[in-house]
Amino acid sequence: MFRNARIKLTLWYLLIIMLVSFLFSIGVYKILTREVERFARIQRFRIERGFGENHVILPPNLDSDFVSETKARIAATLSTIDFVILIISGALGYFLAGKTLLPIKSMLDEQNRFITDASHELRTPLTALKSSMEVFLRAKNSSISEANLLVKESIEEVDHLTSLSNALLQLSQYQKPDSIVKMDTISIAEILKEVVIKLSPLAKEKKLIINKDIKDFQVRGNKLSLSDLFVILLDNAIKYTKKGSVAVSTETKDGFVNILVKDTGIGIAEKDTSHIFDRFYRADESRSEANVFGYGLGLSIAKRIVDIHRGKISVESKVGEGSTFMVSLPSDFS
């Protein structure tokens, strides 16, 4: 498909270039031949006048032979030039068509990968849900309490699927090239305080303390998406911390506002740190040791939001000691 589109685009490029080149050649041919005819006429006039006294009359076909030979030469030269232009622009057009289509190709590849990953993630819980219902149906003499348990588990599974589809929707929204239109001057402290209030009940449930050292700085950004970003980071910090505390702090350095979300949780192994921002990636510890529910989408959404804001996100972590996620956003000095 990509090859076909590339060839089609090359042909379009060629058609336009050759049309221009052909029209240009016709123009040049017309001008040059007119000049040659004029030159021949002047020469004949000069020669006949110069030899006027001796009554020299040039043969009538002398000019026309010279003119037609010169015209043929001009036509041949212009055709050769057109042919060379055709070859060069064909090769150049093919190269440029490839360059033009490359971002579209990678976007399509990315979209296909997204659809494959998403359908895989959706199919697994749906298959599990279906088979537990089939097992229940096949079993004879199932009791009411077993039926209740099945319904309860199915509802939990449906809730998980709903949160997965919400996360997928959120990710697909942030993946659009024009995802965020409205950027304002934002107070980072205001957003962080709102996020902390929102997630405090979760921390309380796990008896975790949220420490705040939030100084206010202005950044240019979209309030809703920045709020999504810090909800993801703080939610993870709470999810992956069994005991201890979570800390949110801000600082400014080298024209960037740094927001740090630190926890005393399970930490991330070195081999995982470079992958945790990939879609659907979950470290083994979070599945086994922490046994925390998740789909591995939060940090890829977070990374996308940071990219849209032309910022950076990084993590420092030690297994068993905790993690610190740092988001750096360009300061707004306006």
| Site residues (vs ligand ADP, CB under 6 A) | 232, 236-237, 240, 263, 265-268, 276, 281-283, 286, 294-300, 323
Q: Given the complex with ligand ADP, which of 21 and 328 has the nearer CB atom?
A: 328
Q: Given the complex with ligand ADP, which of 289 and 332 has the nearer CB atom?
A: 289
Of 320, 189, 326, which Cα lies nearest the Cα of 244? 320
Q: Given the complex with ligand ADP, which of 29 and 281 has the nearer CB atom?
A: 281
Contact 245, 211 (CB under 8 A): yes
Contact 234, 267 (CB under 8 A): no
DSSP class of residue 52?
G
Q: Closest separation between CB of residue 293 and ligand ADP, Å?
A: 7
Of 283, 234, 244, 287, which Cα lies nearest the Cα of 265? 244
Nearest residue to ligand ADP by CB is 294
Q: Given the complex with ligand ADP, which of 89 and 323 has the nearer CB atom?
A: 323
Q: Closest separation between CB of residue 177 and ligand ADP, Å?
A: 22
Q: Give the three-state DSSP class for 263.
A: strand
Q: Given the complex with ligand ADP, which of 164 and 183 has the nearer CB atom?
A: 164
Strand partners, 142: none
* Cβ-proximal residues to 259 (8 Å cutoff; 6+ apart), any chain: 188, 192, 230, 248, 249, 250, 326, 327, 328, 329
Q: Given the complex with ligand ADP, which of 221 and 267 has the nearer CB atom?
A: 267
Q: Closest separation between CB of residue 282 and ligand ADP, Å?
A: 3
Q: Closest separation between CB of residue 269 and ligand ADP, Å?
A: 9
Q: Closest separation between CB of residue 314 and ligand ADP, Å?
A: 13
Query: What is the identity of the amino acid at 74?
Result: I
Q: Residue 148 corresponds to which tokens in the numbers above?
A: 């209740």
Q: Given the complex with ligand ADP, which of 225 and 323 has the nearer CB atom?
A: 323
Q: Given the complex with ligand ADP, which of 82 and 316 has the nearer CB atom?
A: 316
Q: Closest separation between CB of residue 309 and ligand ADP, Å?
A: 18
Query: What is the identity of the amino acid at 135?
Result: V
Q: Maximum Cα–Cα distance for the chain, whole Å?
A: 134
Contact 94, 6 (CB under 8 A): yes
Contact 325, 260 (CB under 8 A): yes
Q: Closest separation between CB of residue 4 and ligand ADP, Å?
A: 37
Strand partners, 40: none
Q: Closest separation between CB of residue 313 and ligand ADP, Å?
A: 11
Strands (E), the chain: 184-187, 209-213, 218-221, 245-253, 256-263, 312-318, 322-330
